[in-house]
Chain A
Amino acid sequence: MNRCGVPRTLLSPVVALGLLFLPSLAAAQDLASFEKRITVKALDNGLTFVVCERPEAPVFSFFTYAAVGSAQEVSGITGIAHMFEHMAFKGTDVIGTNNYAEEARALERVEQMYTAYQAERQRQPKPDPARVAEAEKAWKDAIEAAGKYVVSNEFGDIVQRAGGVGLNAFTSADNTGYFYSLPSNRLELWAYLESERFLRPVFREFYKERDVVKEERRLGESEPIGRLIEQFGATAFTAHPYHHPTIGWMSDLDSFSATDARKFYDTYYAPSNMTVTVVGDVKASEVLQLAEKYFGRLPRKPAPAPLRTVEPPQNAEKEVRLHEEAQPLYAEGYHKPSAFDPDEAVYAAISDILSNGRVSRLYRSLVRDKKIAAFAGGFPGYPGTKYPNLFIFFAVPTPGHSGEEVRDAIRAEIVRLKTEDVTDEELRMVKTRAKANLIRGLGDNEGLAFGLGSAQGLHGDWRELFREVDRIDKVTKADVRRIANATFTDSNRTVGMIITKG
């Protein structure tokens, strides 16, 4: 602390108190103590359960991790992983219907009419407008007919009436996550609902919900940053499906069918592809009992085939410029390996040194000293981490300053990383922060379920959540220079910028 020029005496009034405290890293948050509170069990069908007992209050949270994201999509069905996520809220043959037998027939008819409508819409060389309109009407009539059997949003309603909070889900390039929290006396209701949604999902209101998803896409594409990121990703990735946006291209959202979504679900929602994590005031024995009883019903399915396409090495610098009626934004990305690479912790350390807080290099250079940016940072893992991905720099120029100016300042910091060692203090801060942030993340059920479940789902071991900190602890100055030199090269770079229309 003397490094900061702080006279020791300034601290004296409370030093006595300090002696009463234990050393900062106590035992309650280390890996060994979690080993005792965590139970992992794979069911016979391949589904993995992680249970962490945390009896602080009579509530629990869960996180269902499905190892499927938009990277599993191909042309024509982009956005369908996310579309299934929405369908997982639509109920089952018991929930969300007033007459499933009739509804099933009506839904079958919707699909038939949709197939016919699609055929007319896509007729070559030219669709006949009258026939398209007729087919469209038949399809829409079928949708209305099926709608009569719908009990609107009953699945979510059951959860919320039972006291559920935070009911939501997300889809990323790598995975799909489902989560909420309940009072702990509702554990069996939860086991029933969460297993049923994957055991017997009914794709009701599919085309209405597809409209909802199209609206979701419009929210993003109406923001300049949304337009930039979409163009940036599509430019940086040539072959790998990280190329396309998770929300999907509009023409695919306008075309894919409930049958397509069903096929996707059949392929990727194999129990062996899913991890369910429960954290809170629960007993592991009881959770596992319910897991066998309810989740054990999910039929075993073959493991989905691994993704074949590997992004080829980039051998040319790329740049995408959006001329917009908006203020400038700047991004540049560099290809890097997946999260399974031994150097993943080095990228995390580089990101921290460049971007974390007011001591970070990009803040001090671009925001504090040059005053050309309101924000500047660099982060690994765009758009995912399961496959080779991008380390992406991003900056928001202050008024009167351009993307080119922030670009030059970012590049100067990259050169520094490549040619000079980072300081001992910087590296120490990274390591201290990693430990402290881990501890800060252990104090709530939702965060723990997400952290443990993501580590188990991605790496096959929840302990990776803790080991990541150990790996960051081992990062050296030489590692930082080596990785900076290997990664931040001209031909490995994609630049994306918004330029204000003149």
Chain B
Amino acid sequence: MNRTRHLGNVIFSLVGALCVALPSGLILAQAKNWKDITFPPLKPFSIPQPARHVLSNGIVIFLMEDHELPLINLTALVRTGERHMPAEKAGMGDIFGEVWRTGGTTTRTGDQLDDFLETRAAKVETSMGGSSASVNMNCLKGDFPDVFKIFSELLREPAFAEAKIDIAKNNVKTQIARRNDSPGEIVYRESTKLGYGAQSPYAIVPEYATVASVTRRDLVDWQKKYVHPNRILIGVVGDFDSKEMLATLTKAFGSWPKGPDFTDPEPFYQKKPKPGVYFIEKNDVTKASVHMVHLGTMRSNPDYYAIDVFNEILSGGFASRLFSNVRSKKGLAYSVGGGIGTGYDYPGLLRVEVDTKNSTVAAGLDALYEEIDGLLGKKPATEEELKRAKDSILNSFIFRFDSKEKVLNEQLIYAYYGYPADFLQRYRAGIEKVTLDDVARVAKKYIHPDQFAVLVVGKPSEFDRPLSSFGQVTKLDITIPQPEGLKTMR
């Protein structure tokens, strides 16, 4: 507790009874200026690390006891992902992720699972992401044995029932039909395509035809190919005893034979977008959306720390360049932001974006370029900005590990992507070392305005200047290819 007593600021408070409760018994001075308030050092807080075990078949297990509440949460990460699925079956990941759970197991239908779990207010859910798949369960600890049984059946013996495939396909078809309704969705999707290439698995979107081509056999084959113990990591956090949990997991999965070892080829993405201005006309909007993209980098890059500090200066907080200048000072936008994207095992996208009324779209673009050109040399980052960014990252560092669930999840992610277990500590040390020169250097190295693909979605009749003043404009056609039998739909 702070004991600052700048004499000029002393105002004695009238809370005598409470003051006595304080260990020191002192009446505290009331600070008049925030600068007068000093902090004691944060009390030491050790990072509890989960225990790591590896079963003989290769399953990696992280256990983290947390006895605050009678809950247990269990996650299995499976080494697979939509990015390895064929382009002509785009959408298969969504269908797989849903039917893995809704399609039931060899002993229970999906509907039976629903009833069984909901009676216990328990959750078991599956998902297929871009670069990983997961099965997650969460339940009250008394229900653990029952719910874990389902978790383990879904992992080992999913049924992918045909009837549920139709429902999952309906969901994907609904997304396709609606994907041009929201300008925010359009600008994100189409700029991602410009960044990685439309056929890259990091950008591809499903079509009616690709969804129609997905069969039950595809799902079953995919499960057979990828879901093997040597491709699985399991993290458990909650109210359990580690010894017993390890015994349970070993009993359930220990005899599961290893699958073949193989590595998928690296998914395709283009190294550079075709630079220029791209435009999609949308006339039922009162704002225009702008995204500027090109390829970013990865977190394994030694420049990652300097990049994070740069991103903080560009767009990290209330006093960042984009927020302060484009939003607060110019009043051009509610939503503005950006940064050099960093993926775990593939490059993120550099993305700078703004939403502003159609009649200030050119002013908005000018403002983005002004801030980027500024940090690239016209108005480089200052010592004050560097300090602000580092203070902000380092002082809030505790929030990266202030719960056992967060610590467990970090470890799972690092293990999955092959990052060192002490990556968080390295991150902190890396941030501390970043200099202004580093910030300037990574800005120049990773931001190339001449290579930007600039996408604008909006109502051109209201624009303040033609987009051609920013370069050659390419109009994008986002008409949704219609399936047979649905010709009447837009």
Contact = CB atoms under 8 A, between A and B. Distances in A.
B475 interface: no
Interface in A15-46: 15, 17-18, 20-26, 28-29
A420 interface: no
A109 interface: no
A215 B287 CA distance: 8
B262 interface: no
Interface in B240-266: 241, 244, 247-248, 251-252
Given A5-B112, A163-B395, A188-B37, A296 B402 contact: no
Given A14-B248, A208-B329, A215 B399 contact: no
Residues of A contacting B: mostly? helix
B112 A4 contact: yes
Contact of A4 (B115, B317, B392): B115
A211 B363 CA distance: 14
A311 to B, nearest CB: 30
Contact of A374 (B108, B170, B181, B287): B170
Nearest to A190: B37
B42 A184 contact: yes
Contacts of A6: 107-108, 112, 116
Interface string B304-327: 000000000000111100011001
A325 interface: yes
Nearest to A154: B319
B142 A23 contact: yes
B285 interface: yes
B230 interface: no
Given A208-B331, A292-B18, A293-B13, A17 B248 contact: yes
Among A5, A193, A358, A432, max chain B CB count under 10 A is at A358
B30 A161 contact: no
Contacts of B395: 161-163, 183
B420 interface: no
Interface in B347-365: 355-357
B21 A21 contact: no
Contact of B114 (A183, A192, A216, A359): A359
B148 interface: yes
A89 B286 contact: no
Contacts of B331: 207-212, 215
Contacts of B285: 218, 222
A425 B118 CA distance: 10
Contacts of A205: 328-329
Among A94, A160, A398, max chain B CB count under 10 A is at A160
| Interface range, A side | 35 or more
B334 A286 contact: no
Interface stretch (B74-82, B172-180, B212-220): B172-180
A408 B142 CA distance: 41
Interface in B18-58: 18-19, 21-22, 28, 30-34, 37, 39-43, 45
A469 to B, nearest CB: 12
A153 B287 CA distance: 25
Contacts of A89: 318
A349 B327 CA distance: 43
Nearest to B147: A14
Interface in A195-219: 205, 207-216, 218-219
B332 A211 contact: yes
A279 interface: no
B115 A359 contact: yes
A30 to B, nearest CB: 11
B273 to A, nearest CB: 26
A208 B331 CA distance: 5
A208 to B, nearest CB: 4
Given A1-B116, A4-B115, A94-B32, A189 B39 contact: yes
Among A10, A188, A294, A440, max chain B CB count under 10 A is at A188
Given A14-B251, A23-B142, 9 more contacts: A13-B252, A18-B145, A57-B45, A153-B324, A163-B391, A218-B357, A223-B183, A396-B178, A397-B174
Interface of B: 1-2, 13-15, 18-19, 21-22, 28, 30-34, 37, 39-43, 45, 68-71, 102, 107-108, 110-112, 114-116, 118-122, 138, 140-146, 148-149, 166-167, 170-171, 173-174, 176-178, 181-184, 241, 244, 247-248, 251-252, 284-287, 316-319, 323-324, 327-335, 355-357, 388, 391-392, 394-399, 401-403, 486, 489-490
Ordered nearest first, which 4 A-B pairs have the shortest CB separation?
Answer: A156-B318, A163-B395, A24-B142, A211-B331
29 contacts: A14-B144, A24-B142, A58-B42, A94-B34, A152-B329, A153-B323, A153-B328, A156-B318, A160-B388, A160-B392, A163-B397, A163-B399, A186-B39, A187-B1, A192-B31, A215-B334, A216-B335, A218-B285, A218-B355, A219-B335, A289-B28, A325-B284, A357-B118, A371-B166, A371-B170, A400-B489, A425-B119, A429-B118, A435-B121
Interface of A: 1, 3-6, 10-11, 13-15, 17-18, 20-26, 28-29, 56-59, 89, 94-95, 147, 152-165, 167, 181, 183-189, 192-193, 205, 207-216, 218-219, 221-224, 285-286, 288-290, 292-294, 296-297, 324-327, 356-359, 367-368, 371, 374, 396-400, 425, 428-429, 432-433, 435-437, 439-440, 442-444, 500
